[in-house]
Amino acid sequence: MIILENAAEKIRRFNNYPKDRPRESYHQVLTARAGRRSLVREDGNISNEHLHLTDWALRSYFMMNRGNRMGDEEEFVNKLGNNLRDNVTKSILAKLRDVTIIAHNLQDYKSNTEKLYESLSNCEHGLSADGTYFCVGATKVMHCLFPELFVMLDQNVGKAVGYRSGQHNNFSSYWRVIDICRKELKEWEEIHGSTDTLLQLDLPPTTLPRVFDKCASIMGIRQ
């Protein structure tokens, strides 16, 4: 393990950096699942309330609206909702709704994950207000919708796994980080007997992909 090595210390450092970080919006995304693995309903739909929660987390906790990249709240929520209501995308959402990062057949979902990533990140019909790629934002939207399945990939996480500047902004790089996360979680499970022991190192609410993200992020910040 590289990312999850000394996980307790990395999580503690992340949770204390910075102290005034607005966590409430993200925590509401996690608790809104009400015991489910994702925010997606059986039919592949996502409620408007949950779309607004995702928007709030992106703007406040994840600071994705720098330079007004997300634009107006209603405009962004409508764009996200229309994107996710596409029949092909909705079918993908329904297939992924109960999948977790440690699923034994995770590789089977790579193609669907790529289609979802590309639909959210592309510059023509994606989510950015300025017509640019929304790669980091796409991974954060995916994590908010599927907190038990998808990791987030920004510059700090990219540094932790060895990417140079800009190398993280594509699906191939994103899937590699998903694979790294899954392998390290499996290794943790073999060593410690359960991934529950990893979750217990963090403050609730949390998920395994989020714990991985905290460890990787603090590594990237410290570099």
| DSSP structure string for 43-83 | TS---HHHHHHHHHHHHTTS-TTGGGSS-SHHHHHHHHHHH
* pLDDT mean over 83-111: 97
CB atoms within 10 A of CB 61: 19
Whether the pLDDT of residue 26 is over 80: the answer is: yes
Record the tokens describing residue 1, joined without a space.
């393990």
Can you tell me the distance from the alpha carbon of 185 to that of 199, in angstroms, rounded to the nearest whole number? 11
Mean pLDDT score across all residues of the chain = 96
One-letter amino acid at 26 equals Y
Contact 185, 106 (CB under 8 A): no
Q: How far apart are the first and last CA of the chain?
A: 18
CA angle 39, 44, 49 (to 5 degrees): 40
Give the H/E segment covering residue 210.
Answer: helix 208-222
* Residue-wise pLDDT tens digits, 160-183: 999 999 899 999 999 999 999 999
Band (pLDDT 50/70/90 cuts) for residue 222 is confident
Quote the pLDDT of residue 17.
86
Lowest mean pLDDT among 158-162, 187-191, 218-222: 218-222
Whether the pLDDT of residue 126 is over 90: the answer is: no
Whether the pLDDT of residue 186 is over 80: the answer is: yes
Rg (CA), the chain: 16
Can you tell me the distance from the alpha carbon of 169 to that of 154, in angstroms, rounded to the nearest whole number? 8
Report CA-CA distances (Å) from 169 to 118, 143, 154, 172. Answer: 11, 16, 8, 9
| Helices assigned H by DSSP within 69-201 | 73-85, 87-96, 110-121, 135-145, 155-160, 171-192, 196-199
